[in-house]
Each structure stands twice: as C-alpha cells, then as structure tokens.
Structure 1
Amino acid sequence: MFGFKNRGEGRICNECVRIKNAKGNLKRAYGLTFGDIAQLLQDQDNACATCLAPFSQVDPDNFRVGDANVDHCHARGHHRGLLCMDCNIAPGKVKDNADTLSRMIDYLTA
C-alpha cells in the first residue's frame, strides 16, 4: 500500500517517515504532541477559535493537522489555540497589535 525509502538503516515505509516528520515538526515548532492537538480540537468544538468555522481535514489519530493552524505568540513563544488559515494570518498582518485590531473593529462597526 505505501512505498518505501531506502535509508542508511534500511528500507522505511513512506507513511512511517511522514508520521515521524509530522510528530517532530509539531514538537519542535510548538512543543505540542498530536494528543495536545486532539485536546485543543475538543476544547474548541473542532472549530477555529475566532471565526468558529469547523475544521474538516484534521485527524490527530492519523497524525494530520490538515486545515487547522497552531496559532502562537512570536514575542512570548507560547501557542494560543487552533485557527483557520484566514484567522491565523490576520493577527500577523497587524503585527499582533491589539490596539490596531480594536481600531479595525471600531472602523468595521461604524
């Protein structure tokens, strides 16, 4: 079913390589495990923390984050939750400045 890669330690299943890389990337970038992702999904009702759009491609049991993005604070380095791509981009566009976001809300509701 899955192909194999020849590595120095022998042949390794491509799916096993994908899972190992996914686990390592999540741990290295955010200090999270797929168990942590599953808990965040449960806490957020499997939806974006800000716009509440449901995630459709996330499967922590199969080591896939899919359309959920781990939102993190660049200044303090901690993660805040799971966001859709649009909501994940928005804080970065205003440089995580709450005053700018507040003025944008005032502008939109005027």
Structure 2
Amino acid sequence: MYGLAPGDYEKLRYLQSGRCALCRRANGATIRLSVDHDHKSGAVRGLLCRPCNSILGHGRDDIQFFQRAIGYLMSPPARQLQRGPDG
C-alpha cells in the first residue's frame, strides 16, 4: 500500500513506538493504524489513527490551517469576553 515494501508497516510501527505519530495514544490494537501519505507526492509519512488521519485530511495538509488551530487553542476568542473583578 502506497509503495510500502513488505515489512515496512511493522518497521514504521516500531519507529513510532507502536503508536499514532500524532496523538501517541492509539496503538492500533483494536483498529489498525492508517498509512498516512502526502496527497501531492504520494510519499508515505507515517502511521496515524483514524481520528488523527481525518484531522489532517480535513485540514487538507495546510500548514497555515494548523498554525491557526494552535493559535486558537492558545488564545481562544472567547477569552476576550472574560471580565476582570470590576466587571
């Protein structure tokens, strides 16, 4: 799949300590980790759980999207609604 040679999937699992490369929680024991690849070049990047693979897909591999997501998590807009002790 995606040009992986026999045994490469297991080698990737080993390199990733048997876990999803992003969340590091999923281990593929119940549902096999997905082979993530660059949609432009087709090159394999690593193994991801389905939710993390979906997140990358939704973000369309757009680095600016993910930078905005980091900014959002660090400083959510609703934080500006928080008021000090004087109201």
Report TM bin, short chain.
0.7 to 0.9
In the other structure, the counterpart of 1:80 is: 45
Q: Which has the higher contact order (CA 8 A, sep 6+)?
A: 2
1:14-33 Cα deviation digits (max 9, x unpaired): xxxxxxxxxxxx2xxx0113
Q: Give the 3-state SS of the residue equivalent to 1:51 in structure 2.
A: coil
Unmatched tracts of structure 2, length 5 or more: 76-87
2:23 aligned with 1:51: yes
TM-score (norm 2): 0.79
> Which consecutive aligned stretches of 4+ in structure 1 deviate over 6 angstroms post-superposition?
none
* Larger fraction in strand: 1
TM-score (norm 1): 0.63
Q: Percent identity?
A: 38
* Larger fraction in helix: 1
- RMSD over equivalenced CA pairs, Å: 1.2
Q: Report the Cα distance in structure 2 between the residues aligned to 1:79 and 1:96, rounded to whole angstroms.
A: 13
Unmatched tracts of structure 1, length 5 or more: 1-25, 58-65
Residue 34 of structure 1: CA displacement? Answer: 3.9
Residue 103 of structure 1: CA displacement? Answer: 0.5
Q: Give the 3-state SS of the residue equivalent to 2:35 in structure 1.
A: strand
Q: Give the 3-state SS of the residue equivalent to 1:82 in structure 2.
A: strand
